[in-house]
């Protein structure tokens, strides 16, 4: 294992819907009261194209006291398409995936599930900034090799990957789709993955979701 990249994910809704993310009132129209909104629409629907999106959405519902109805999808782009068409209220997507729709003004990012704001959508708060508690669940990718690969081969691959990612053009292309290179040694990556497994196990249990 060598090298890791991560990119943030965000909750997104139709840009025409006047919602904003808050400490306890989750998604509230800016010109009407939350009570009036709940009377008209007691629950909100969200599409999840991955198991992780469902866990994160359930966690958001618990932290805000909002009733979110889960609508399963086979893939995240299908959920995003139904948000755009008004079939569901919101979805949870990678910032890079949503950027074309954010730029076009068709989707609005409400909150970022990361420990820092995304440079691509700098006006969108993190969970912590929205008063929802620390919640950093970036998507991540790592370069791996078979378990018995010799260390010298691992190091050689790592050097080549580092050289490629360090090139200005490559780095710019990655950051354009909200992917941030984070160089890590094999031992660091193993520790990171172990911590991620433990974190997700706790989140799944807290969300009350049974493995399917």
CA distance 56 to 136: 10
Q: Do 91 and 75 form a contact (C-beta atoms < 8 A)? A: no
What is the share, in percent, of the chain residues with pLDDT greater than 90? 8
pLDDT tens-digit map of 96-148: 888 999 999 999 898 888 888 988 899 998 888 888 888 888 888 888 888 88
Residue 90 makes CB contacts below 8 A (sequence gap 6+) with 11, 12, 13, 27, 44, 45, 46, 47, 83, 110
Rounded to two decimals, the pTM is 0.73
CA distance 43 to 38: 7
Summarize the confidence of residues 56-63 as an average pLDDT. Answer: 78
Q: In CATH, what number does 10-136 get?
A: 3.40.190.10
Q: For the chain, which residues make up each domain, given as ranges?
A: 10-136, 139-198
CA distance 161 to 30: 47
């Amino acid at each position: 294992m060598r090298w890791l990249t991560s990119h943030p994910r965000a909750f997104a809704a139709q840009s025409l819907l006047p919602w904003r993310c808050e400490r306890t009132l989750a998604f509230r129209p800016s010109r009407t009261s939350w009570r009036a909104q709940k009377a008209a629409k007691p629950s909100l629907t969200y599409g999840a194209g991955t198991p992780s999106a469902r866990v994160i959405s359930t966690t958001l519902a618990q932290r805000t006291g909002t009733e979110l109805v889960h609508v399963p999808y086979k893939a995240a782009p299908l959920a995003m398409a139904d948000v755009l068409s008004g079939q569901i209220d919101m979805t949870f997507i990678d910032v890079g995936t949503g950027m074309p729709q954010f730029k076009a003004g068709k989707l609005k990012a409400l909150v970022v599930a990361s420990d820092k704001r995304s440079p691509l959508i700098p006006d969108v708060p993190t969970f912590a900034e929205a008063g929802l508690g620390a919640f950093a669940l970036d998507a991540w990718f790592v370069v791996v090799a078979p378990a018995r690969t010799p260390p010298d081969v691992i190091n050689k691959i790592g050097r080549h990957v580092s050289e490629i990612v360090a090139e200005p053009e490559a780095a710019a292309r990655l950051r354009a789709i909200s992917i941030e290179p984070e160089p890590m040694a094999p031992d660091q990556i193993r520790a990171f993955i172990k911590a991620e497994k433990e974190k997700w196990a706790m989140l799944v249990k807290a969300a009350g979701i049974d493995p399917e």
